[in-house]
Chain A
Amino acid sequence: GEDVEQSLFLSVREGDSSVINCTYTDSSSTYLYWYKQEPGAGLQLLTYIFSNMDMKQDQRLTVLLNKKDKHLSLRIADTQTGDSAIYFCAEGQTSYDKVIFGPGTSLSVIP
């Protein structure tokens, strides 16, 4: 199948770390993406990782990839109220040349 799965909701306290998890299905996926959607806006690319990498860090964001388990995670350090949004995991399926999005995880940050 082509499913990308994510939990739908996550709630954290301001200042804590958030970890958003994702599982995907296509082992040939070359690129794995995290997009952010703020209320009333379209999706915006946050970061991406190549499938030959295990980890990528970009300021407060850390992406971990376990290719064996087809598991991707996004860690947001020192989560702020401005991080409240929906986060979409997506896999770039090389074999089909398409990008499959997950259902999105709605992150709520409690002040």
Chain B
Amino acid sequence: ETGVTQTPRHLVMGMTNKKSLKCEQHLGHNAMYWYKQSAKKPLELMFVYNFKEQTENNSVPSRFSPECPNSSHLFLHLHTLQPEDSALYLCASSQEVAVSSYEQYFGPGTRLTVT
């Protein structure tokens, strides 16, 4: 399998549930990202990992907890979410640390609905 994959593609969860989103890239990239995409709003960068180390946390609430066990895998652990957290969560990867200079490859996203 090639590119960036995300599972699950759709997720419905209650506010008291705990769930995890998974992202995997098969491109040999060293940087991985989580974005939140809400309707009619700019793409919101949530977290950046370079070489498994978190380099950016864009003031994301603690109910979102990322994990990057290796350069190929990225998780987003979710707990006690709010309805306004419903959105499309996109994972992306790029070749290297110089984020501004490299093309980002996106996964298809996980459509999250919080009830």
Query: Which residues of A are in contact with B by a Cβ distance under 8 Å?
Result: 4, 8, 29-31, 33, 35, 40-45, 48, 88, 92-94, 96-104
Interface string of B27-67 (1 = CB under 8 A from A): 00000000000001111010010000000100000000000
Q: Which of A30, A35, A42, A45 contacts B101 (CB 8 A)?
A: A30
Q: Which residues of B contact A8 (CB under 8 A)?
A: 40
Determine the interface band of chain B, counting residues with CB < 8 A from chain A.
Answer: 20 to 34
Query: Which residues of B are in contact with A by a Cβ distance under 8 Å?
Result: 4, 6, 40-43, 45, 48, 56, 90, 92, 97-101, 103-109
Contact B42 A30 (CB under 8 A): no
Contact A97 B98 (CB under 8 A): yes
A101 to B97, CA, bound (A): 18
Q: Which residues of B contact A40 (CB under 8 A)?
A: 108
* Residue in chain A with minimal CB distance to B100: A92
